A and B are shown apart, each in its own frame.
Chain A
Amino acid sequence: MLDQIVFYFFAALAVISALLVVTRRNVVQSAIFLITALLATAGIFLQLHAEFLFIVQVILYAGGIMVLFVFVIMLINLDVSIHQVQFNRQWWLGLLLALVLGAQLILAVALGRSGLPLGEPAPATALEPSTQLVGRVLFNEYMLPFEIASILLLVAMIGAVVMAKKKV
């Protein structure tokens, strides 16, 4: 019972704040609602017994990436963009296509639900020392992707510095 209350609360919070992210006029308000959506997702991770991902989500997403976003919003002058038209000229076409995509996804899940063994989840103890299990999988089977991810981060760091430099 408590499980369900937690899940539906965080799910509703995530969906509402995601809707507000894409509809607000002010970029700062969008950023704040994006933080709410990410924290609600973190709550869903916790409800799914993914403690390590929960804390990664809070520290890295809500802490790191959002600070980056807010810094860039601060560097860019806001007064001009707030008075401009916020949506594309062809926004109705985009909205229509996005809704068609959403309907297709709903259809796929609703039809595929009977084919997949979606019923009985594994017992909650299967993921018990969550952080330990993640570390074991990450450093055994996924060692090479882990190293490649570190190279990706290095490239992104160099790229960000080069992009934001005054004179290239």
Chain B
Amino acid sequence: MIPTSHYLFLSLGLFTIGVIGVVTRRNVIIILMSIELMLNAVNINLVAFSRLVGSAEGHVFAIFVITDAAAEAAVGLGIIIAFFRNRETLLGDEMDLLKW
């Protein structure tokens, strides 16, 4: 039997890797992928606690998180395509239209 804290450590490891990807990479597509990794780490947490308590509510919340991830990926990739069409770049630090 694996203790629940091991799932928590796995989940926080994946989350931290996702944060590292978001704050250090320049490519916007990889930043979006890192956000997917972070959402995924949250799902592991929810399902592990659901297994611990023996109720299915964590699974339901994980389904909501997956729905959110799908919506976010669709809108985010749409924005990336629109931005690439206008500015010919994929770099996050060159997206400074609002910066004076």
Residues of A within 8 A of B (CB): 3-4, 7, 11, 14-15, 18-19, 21-22, 27, 30-31, 34, 37-38, 41, 44-45, 48-50, 52-53, 56-57, 60-61, 64-65, 68-69, 72-73, 75-76, 80-81, 84-89, 91, 94-95, 97-99, 101-102, 105-106, 109, 113, 118-119, 121-123, 126-127, 130, 133-134, 136-138, 141-142, 145, 149, 152-153, 155-157, 159-164, 166
Can you spell out 24 A-B residue pairs with CB atoms less than 8 angstroms apart?
A3-B1, A11-B10, A21-B33, A30-B29, A41-B40, A41-B44, A44-B10, A48-B50, A53-B63, A57-B43, A60-B70, A69-B29, A73-B29, A81-B27, A81-B91, A87-B24, A88-B26, A102-B13, A121-B4, A134-B59, A156-B74, A163-B75, A164-B77, A164-B82
Interface residue ranges of B48-82 to A (CB < 8 Å): 48, 50-57, 59-60, 62-64, 66-75, 77-82
Most B CB contacts (10 A, CB to CB) among A19, A134, A155, A162 go to: A134
Determine the distance from Cα of A21 to Cα of B22 in the docked complex, in whole angstroms. Answer: 11
Contacts of A65 in B (CB 8 A): 36, 69-70, 73
Please determine whether A109 and B12 come into contact, CB atoms closer than 8 angstroms: yes
In the complex, the 4 A-B pairs of residues with the closest C-beta atoms, listed nearest first: A122-B54, A163-B78, A94-B23, A126-B54
The answer to whether A69 and B19 touch (CB under 8 A), given A22-B25, A127-B51, A164-B82, is no
Please determine whether B30 and A68 come into contact, CB atoms closer than 8 angstroms: no
Residue in B closest to A154 when the chains form the complex, CB atoms: B71
Q: How many residue pairs at the A-B interface have CB separations less than 8 Å?
A: 241
Contacts of B75 in A (CB 8 A): 156, 159-160, 163
Q: Is the interface of A mostly helix, strand, loop or mixed?
A: helix
Determine the distance from Cα of A91 to Cα of B68 in the docked complex, in whole angstroms. Answer: 28
Please determine whether B64 and A22 come into contact, CB atoms closer than 8 angstroms: no
Contacts of A137 in B (CB 8 A): 55-57, 59-60
Please determine whether B37 and A18 come into contact, CB atoms closer than 8 angstroms: yes
Q: Give, as a whole number of angstroms, the nearest-CB distance from A95 to chain B.
A: 6
Residues of B within 8 A of A (CB): 1-10, 12-21, 23-27, 29-30, 32-34, 36-37, 40, 43-44, 47-48, 50-57, 59-60, 62-64, 66-75, 77-82, 84-85, 90-93
The answer to whether A105 and B16 touch (CB under 8 A), given A30-B30, A122-B51, is yes
Please determine whether B44 and A121 come into contact, CB atoms closer than 8 angstroms: no
The answer to whether A95 and B2 touch (CB under 8 A), given A15-B14, A106-B9, A109-B12, is no
Contacts of B68 in A (CB 8 A): 149, 152
